[in-house]
Amino acid sequence: MPWNWKKNRLGRAKTAESPEEPLTRPALAWLLAALVLAAAPHASELPVWLSVLFAAMAGWRGFIALRGKSLPPRWLLLLLALLAGAGVLIDYRTLFGRDVGVALLVAMVACKLLETRVLRDGVVLVFLGYLLVMSNLLYSQEIPMVAYLFAVVLVMLAAQALIHRPHAGLRGVAPLRLAGMMVLQAIPVMLILFILFPRIPGPLWGLPKDAYKGRTGLSDEMMPGTVSELVRSDAVAFRARFGGVMPPPNQRYWRGPVLWRFDGRRWTRHEELPANIPTTFVPEGVAMDYSVILEPSNRRWLFALDLPARLPPRVGMTASFQLLRDQPINEVYRYEMQSYPNYRTGELTVAERFRGLQLPVRGNPRARALAAQWRERMSHPEDRVGAALALFREQAFYYTLTPPLLGADNVDDFLFRTRQGFCEHYASAFVFLMRAAGVPARVVTGYQGGEANDLGGYFIVRQSDAHAWAEVWLAERGGWARVDPTAAVAPGRVRDGLYAAVLNPELLPFLARRGGGGEYEWLRQLALSWDSLNNSWNEWVLAYGPDRQKEFLSGLGFGPVDWAEMTVAMTVTLGGFGLLVIGWRWRQRGTHDPVARAWQRFCARLARRGLARGPHEGPLDFTERVATSRPELASSVREIGQLYAHLRYGPIGASSDLRLLRHLVRRFRV
Amino acid sequence: MSRGLRQRFEAWVTRGQRPARQPVRLDRRRIYILPTRQGYAFALLLLLLFLWSINYSNSMGFAFTFLLSAVALNSMWRAHNNLLDLVIQPGGIEPVFAGQDAQFSYRLDNPDAEPRHGVALQWRDRSPHYTDVSARGSATVVLAVPAKRRGRLRPGRLRVLTRFPLGLLQAWSWVEFEQDCLVYPQPRGGRSLPAAMAGGTGSGLGEQGVGSEDYAGFRPYAPGDSPRRIAWRAAARTDRLLVKRFTDQARPELWLDWRLLGAEPVEPRLEQLCQWVLKAEGEGCEYGLRLPGREIPPASGEIQRRRCLEALALFAGGDG
């Protein structure tokens, strides 16, 4: 072997491997490939110049490695690093946040690439590479991304093996095969950890402001335009799976933020403290049980059908039946829910009556006048409700995604001039009229409807199903009653969904065009199949958080579990798995040698007839003893004994001898 | 761990091990494994990823963190397996002169159907020698051990180690073999070769002045005489084995004598003698070596050289 003792005598390395060992060319190639793959998905959100810079630096480093050139001088690197840092600072105007963090990470990897020469640099790059992989998960945890990152991890592991010069014997695809085998063998342990490692609900400390940037969802205020903007998205808000019967379309009202306060333009929430028991009401009829798999919204509220009667862990309920979790939902979150579609909420408190009748001091005089008229003429509040709905139904009101802009007195403007609006216009105007007419009322926002995915047996509720409706308090109805003024204008909205009901459905995104995909309906159906796969992924994998973990383990029959018990369960399972592997390896080892296997089989057969081999007996002694006590077996037993002794202790035997031994043992009968 | 502590630990762990004469097969009980510095850094990385996952409630982040942890665990098993059942046997050793490096060679045999990568032998704190051992194959590793003093050099405990596959953990084992390397004194000294003398210089032992050119009668056979010198014809006549005697007038006897180096201490004397042996051999002389209590009759050739050098290497005592 090529070996140079002089060099080794000079290199007084104290450890088993010097961190100054230069990287081999294949190691650099794998490392570059892994890093480029890990950074690639970020190209969509990084500034273009940074993506170009990264590609250029990677290309440059590859060129240097290929041509055996020397690395750029340090001052140039320093300059590049400073420029990249300044560029990021100028582009993002901050150094704290998710996006800027990713940008800095990418810039750091790019600069580090150009000074990478030895093992230590390689290790740093591999570690940065794993951080890059993780950072991709902050943007997407969907199946394609996870599959892609899985492949990236394989390449990264291959690079991590190869940066060590002594492992350079792994050639061609051998590093990738090794990484594949390692990951394959690691999967059982990963699953045990994933299922049993006690999860702590996050966050542990403050997150950057842009941590969950770009998440769409209902906000906690409503102005003209808020809902009609939101419905332009076909992103999934949540999915729901019903245990028994599905509710009919006119009961698919998914309750979200309840808005009490009106300032003449904006509807906002009244800060109510959620209680940790469900708000009481008198249910009528049967309950519906279902589970909801909520997409991350970066908001605290949960959605439930009217009216929810159960609380998931860490969730409270306000007096107006809003569900609020202690932390914003920033992971896929699954919860079990129960609702009663028919209910009586009972008496109104003084505070509620006051809030339910609140109106701005001035503005919208015509609407007020109309309401005062109703109040005078109709003694039953229910009739006033009917009058308002009749107004929407009978006058020329239009349901449109692009309502005209409204002036300062926007309720008046809408009711008497434009008469074109989306659900927030109708809900807002209706509640205004009711309050002015002396009927306690409030705006409820949420989602209405949803598309049944027959393939997966669940409902998909998209942002395009966002809706706003009203609730009025009627003594005759025993409490709060839901009134959907939009249904008076466009009855199809509730029955068939938005696409069928709105004036300008072509503005809706493709997936929101329920039942109206036209010649591309098959494509929509395909998308639904894909969605059902996503739903399973969400339900079983992504939604597996602290609460679901407890639920799952309790469901196995352990009763309520705490983290200490979970740790014990995890340790025991891991230990059990370890023992299984050891046991399996033990068996493999024992039966590795075909000669020994044949001999053991032979001995076992004799032992069953009471002729057990003593531990002191060699093969020849043993067979001789058998031959004496059972003369009829003598010849075959002796032959086997001699053959075995020859194979075991003699010079390396021919494979025909082994075949013969196995044959004889197989034929041997006591 | 401080150096002294480490050595004590090493001594404690290997207290039951005796130097082996046979090949050593590394079994479970003698393979140890610990994280490397890189391994500790990786553990920190895992902690970072874990906190990151908690903070962002990122389910796939957890899965990724756990996957990397499981891979690290798997790499522990693989590092252990990379040494398990490896057979190490010492090879032949050539003598060296003091000041040179003794070359201890070892054969590593892999009985498994899977190749082993990055297995190293390390002597003390020297940089380890890595090699790959192919499936059911073997590889040779040569370790250089500095031979500082003449005599028999034992390399002592060797470390067999590997960081395969990811460099996060180091598995190692200690082996020690019953082997040594003969170290000749360093050939050093300013004196030129002593003058050769015809006939004996007085010592009664041996066959002084025996050459190969001029026939000088017979003498009785003594064990160790070359069969070529036996006078077969004469032996047939006399029933006794007789050996032909020659005297070599052209090349007088050269005696490398301890006593010629009068007052010097032992080691420089041996070094000078060593240098003389090499010089005499290089000039093609016949030479004998005379040490207190030991005398090697004059001859030349590789065997003679070895005999003399070995005598010098193993010389003990002798003040005077």
Exactly one of A121, A412, A423, A547 is catalytic; name it.
Answer: A423
Name the band, by pLDDT with cuts 50, 70 and 90, for residue A231.
confident
Q: Is A111 a catalytic residue?
A: no
pLDDT at residue B223 in the model: 67
DSSP for B4-67 reads HHHHHHHHHHTTT---BSS-EE--GGG-EEEE-HHHHHHHHHHHHHHHHHHHTT-HHHHHHHHH
Nearest to A130 among B68, B129, B141 (CB): B68
Q: Say how many residues make up chain A.
A: 670
Helix axes A423-436, A381-394, angle to 10 degrees: 140
Q: Which of A132, A135, A121, A137 lies closest to A155, judged by CA?
A: A132
Residue with tokens 């043992």: A665
- CB spacing of A11 vs B130 below 8 angstroms: no
- What DSSP character marks residue A418? I
Nearest to A407 by CA among A445, A363, A463, A437: A363
Average the pLDDT over each of A185-194, A245-254, A407-416, B10-19 and give the range with the smallest value: B10-19
Confidence of residue A4 (pLDDT cuts 50, 70, 90): very low
pLDDT at A52: 94
Residue B249 reports pLDDT greater than 70: no
Looking only at the bridges linking them, the beta strands covering B181-184 and B96-97 are parallel
How many CA atoms are closer than 13 Å to the CA of B314, on its beta-carbon side?
Answer: 12
Q: Of A516-520, A554-558, A566-570, where does the model show the most confidence? A: A566-570
Q: Which residues touch A262 (CB under 8 Å, ≥6 apart)?
A: A358, A359, A360, A428, A431, A432, A435
**How big is the CA angle at A140 (ends A332 and A32), to the nearest 5 degrees?**
145
Give residue B246's pLDDT band: very low, low, confident or very high (50, 70, 90). low
Residues of A in contact with B163 (CB under 8 A): 16-17, 164, 166
Q: B173 at the A interface (CB within 8 A)?
A: no
Considering only alpha carbons, which residue of chain B is nearest residue A18? B127
Round to whole Å and give the CA distance between B192 and B185.
17
List of E strands, A454-546: 458-462, 466-474, 479-483
Other CB atoms closer than 10 Å to residue A464's CB: what's the count?
26
Which of A337, A342, A341 lies closest to A290, judged by CA? A337
Token pair belonging to A394: 């009978």
CA distance B276 to B158: 36
> In Å, how far is B215's CA from the nearest CA of chain A?
50
Is B71–A157 a contact, with Cβ atoms under 8 angstroms apart? yes
Query: A114-145: string of b/e by CB count within 10 Å (b at 16+)?
Result: bbbbbbbbbbbbbbbbbbbbbbbbbbebebee
The shortest C-alpha distance from A339 to chain B (Å) reads: 28
Shortest CA distance to A132 belongs to which of A229, A54, A25? Answer: A54
Three-state SS for A48?
helix
Q: How far apart (Å, rounded) are the C-alpha atoms in residues B263 and B282?
A: 27
- Please report the pLDDT score of residue A131 as a whole number: 96
- Rounded to the nearest angstrom, the minimum Cα separation between A33 and chain B is 18
Q: Which pair of structure tokens corresponds to residue B11?
A: 């001594």
Q: Look at B167 and A137 and tell me if their CB atoms are within 8 Å.
A: no
CA-to-CA separations, A648 to A314, A596, A597, A620, B110, in angstroms, rounded: 68, 8, 12, 12, 19
Least confident of A330-339, B16-25, B151-160: B16-25
Distance of residue A31 Cα from the nearest chain B Cα, in angstroms:
13
In chain B, what are the domain boundaries?
A: 3-183, 210-313
What mean pLDDT is predicted for residues A437-455?
90
Query: DSSP characters for A584-629?
Result: HHHHHHHTS-HHHHHHHHHHHHHHHTT-PPPTT--HHHHHHHHHHH
Choose the closest CB to A160 out of B118, B129, B166: B166
Element (H, E) at A478: none
Comparing CB atoms, the residue among B42, B161, B165 nearest residue A178 is B165
pLDDT in tens, B40-89: 999 999 999 999 999 888 999 999 999 999 999 999 999 999 999 899 98
Taking CA–CA distances from B114, the nearest residue in chain A reads A178
Domain ranges of chain A: 18-196, 594-667
Q: Looking at residue B30, what is its pLDDT?
A: 86
Cβ separation A11–B164 shorter than 8 A:
no
A552/A439 Cα distance (integer angstroms): 46
Identify whether the C-beta of residue B298 lies closer than 8 Å to the C-beta of residue B257: no
Percent of chain A scoring above 70 in pLDDT: 95
Interface contact flag, B42 A332, Cβ < 8 Å: no
From chain B, the residues in CB contact with A325 under 8 A are none
% of chain A with per-residue pLDDT over 90: 45
Using a 10 angstrom Cβ sphere, with 0-12 exposed, 13-18 middle and 19 or more buried, the burial of residue A653 is middle
pLDDT of residue B14: 73
| Residue B131 sits at the chain A interface (C-beta within 8 Å) | yes
Tell me what ipTM this predicted complex has. Answer: 0.79
**B178-235 pLDDT tens trace:** 888 999 999 988 888 887 765 444 443 334 444 455 566 677 776 666 666 677 777 7
Residue A509 has pLDDT above 70, yes or no: yes
Which residues fall within 8 angstroms of residue A130, CB to CB, at 6 or more apart?
A153, A156, B45, B49, B68
B166 part of contact set with chain A, CB < 8 Å? yes
SS3 at position B188? coil
Is B59 within 8 Å of A169 when comparing Cβ atoms?
A: no
Number of neighbouring beta carbons within 10 Å of residue B128: 27
Q: How far apart are CA A180 and CA B116, in angstroms?
A: 17
- Alpha-carbon distance of A35 to B34, in angstroms, equals 29
Distance, in Å, from the CA atom of B207 to the CA atom of B204, rounded to the nearest integer, reads 9
**Beta carbons of B67 and A205 less than 8 Å apart:** no
pLDDT at residue A552, as a whole number: 83
Q: Which helix or strand (DSSP H or E) is residue B217 part of?
A: strand B210-220
A132 pLDDT more than 80: yes
- Over residues A32-49, mean pLDDT: 94
The answer to whether A134 contacts B49, with C-beta atoms less than 8 Å apart, is yes
CA distance A46 to chain B (A): 20
Residue of B nearest to A8 (CA): B127
Window from A270-274, A577-581, A619-623, B18-22 with minimum mean pLDDT:
B18-22
pLDDT category of residue A1 using cuts at 50, 70 and 90: very low
Q: Would the CB atoms of A123 and B41 count as touching at under 8 Å?
A: yes
From the list A11, A14, A545, the residue facing B57 with the nearest CB is A545
Task: Kindly identify which residue of chain A lies nearest to residue B66, measuring between CA atoms.
Answer: A190
Average pLDDT of A226-254?
A: 88
Q: Sorting pLDDT into bands at 50, 70 and 90, what band is A654?
A: low
Please judge whether A186 and B74 are an interchain contact, meaning their C-beta atoms are less than 8 angstroms apart: yes
CB B167 within 8 A of CB A164: yes
Rg (CA), chain B: 30
Instruction: Select the residue of A167, A170, A202 nearest B57 (Cβ to Cβ).
Output: A202
Q: Are A449 and A253 in contact (CB under 8 A)?
A: no
Tokens 């050891």: give the residue: A582
Q: What is the token pair recorded at B28?
A: 């479970």
Task: Please state which of the four CATH numbers 1.10.10.60, 2.40.480.10, 3.30.2350.10, 2.60.40.10 is assigned to the domain occupying B3-183.
Answer: 2.60.40.10
A164 is catalytic: no
Q: Which one of B53, B60, B163 makes the best mutation probe of the A interface by having the most chain A beta carbons within 10 Å?
A: B60
**Searching chain B, which residue's CA lies closest to the CA of residue A21?**
B127
Model pTM score: 0.78
Q: How far is CA A600 from CA A73, A585, A596, A610, A665, in A?
A: 68, 18, 6, 15, 10
pLDDT band at A110 (very low <50, low <70, confident <90, very high): very high
Q: Fill in the amino acid letter for A654.
A: A
CA torsion through residues B314, B317, B319, B320, sign: negative
Interface test with B, best of A10, A181, A194, A549 (most B CBs within 10 A): A194
Q: Is the dihedral of CA A425, A428, A434, A435 positive or negative?
A: negative
> Does B69 lie at the interface with A, CB-CB under 8 angstroms?
yes
Test B62 with A194 for CB contact under 8 angstroms.
yes
- For the ranges A265-269, A300-304, A452-456, B108-112, which has the lowest average pLDDT? A452-456
From the list A484, A531, A547, A603, the catalytic residue is A484
A369–chain B nearest CA distance, Å: 52
Q: Residue A129 half-sphere exposure, CB side, CA atoms within 13 Å?
A: 29
- A186·B67 Cβ contact <8 A: yes
Amino acid occupying residue B181? C
Between A and B, how many residue pairs show a Cβ–Cβ distance under 8 A? 172
pLDDT of amino acid A261: 94
Residues 6+ apart with CB under 8 A from B77: none
Q: Which of A42, A412, A425, A467 is catalytic?
A: A467
- Of A369-383, A497-511, B299-313, the poorest mean pLDDT is in A497-511
Confidence of residue B3 (pLDDT cuts 50, 70, 90): low
- Structural tokens at position A135: 């950072």
Chain A residues close to B55, C-beta within 8 Å: 202-205, 207
Q: What residues of chain A lie within 8 A of the CB of B52, using their CB?
A: 134
Q: Mean pLDDT in chain A?
A: 87
CA distance A447 to A256: 7
Question: Residue A390: what pLDDT?
Answer: 93
- Neighbouring-strand partners of residue A459: A240, A452
Query: Among the listed ranges A178-187, B87-96, B231-240, which one has the minimum average pLDDT value?
Result: B231-240
- Smallest Cβ–Cβ distance between A134 and the set B64, B71, B127 belongs to B64
From B77, which residue of chain A is nearest by alpha-carbon distance?
A: A182
Backbone angles phi, psi at A301, to 5 degrees: -85, 155
* pLDDT score recorded for residue A477: 87
Q: CA-CA distance, A318 to B22, in Å (whole number)?
A: 81
CB A17 within 8 A of CB B79: no
Which residues of chain B are within 8 Å of residue A541 when distances are taken between CB atoms? 59-60, 63
Asked, as a colleague might, if the bond just before A381 is cis with ω within 30 of 0, I would say: no
Nearest chain A Cα to B42, which residue? A127
DSSP per-residue codes, A216-259? ----SEE-TTHHHHHTT---EEEEEEESSPPPPGGG-EEEEEEE
Beta bridge partners of A442: A471
Closest Cα in chain B, distance from residue A150 (Å): 9
Catalytic site residue A484?
yes
Q: Is there a contact between B58 and A167 if contact means CB atoms under 8 Å apart?
A: no
A573, A578, A580, A585: CA torsion to nearest 10: 170
Distance from CA of A533 to the nearest CA of B (A): 16
How far apart CA A356 and CA A474 sit, in angstroms, is: 12
Min Cα–Cα distance to chain B from A65, Å: 22
Q: Which residues of A touch B172 (CB under 8 A)?
A: 16
Is pLDDT of A175 > 80? yes
- E strand or H helix at A633: none
- Alpha-carbon separation of residue A629 from A221, A625, A636 (angstroms): 98, 6, 14
**B75 touching A, CB under 8 A?**
yes
Reported as type and span, the H/E element at residue A491 is none
